[in-house]
Amino acid sequence: MLDSQKSTGTGYTTTVALLIMAIIFCPAVLIASRPIGYVSLSLAIACSALCVILAWVNWKKYSRLTIPSIATQDGGAK
């Protein structure tokens, strides 16, 4: 009975981990590294941007949920 449900094929774990790293970890490292200079600020921005780009690529690559797959899940109830 449970085997009849198909997986949507989404990989949320890596995407969320990359976004958490971009939003929380990189700014926290920037704040912890005193004094804040142009080099550390540039590295933090580059790290955050890289993590956001990788999260977006990962989302596009592994997210296979489409509108037709949602419409066919109702089982033909009328």
User: How would you write the pLDDT of the chain (78 residues) with one tens digit per residue?
Assistant: 444 445 555 567 888 999 999 999 988 888 888 777 888 888 889 999 999 999 999 888 877 665 665 556 555 555
**Which tokens in the block code for residue 11?**
């990989």
Cβ atoms of 65 and 8 within 8 Å: the answer is: yes
Measured between alpha carbons, how far is residue 41 from residues 12, 28, 46, 78 in Å? 29, 12, 9, 58
Return the amino acid letter for 52: V
Specify the pLDDT at position 3: 46
Read off the DSSP letter of residue 6: P
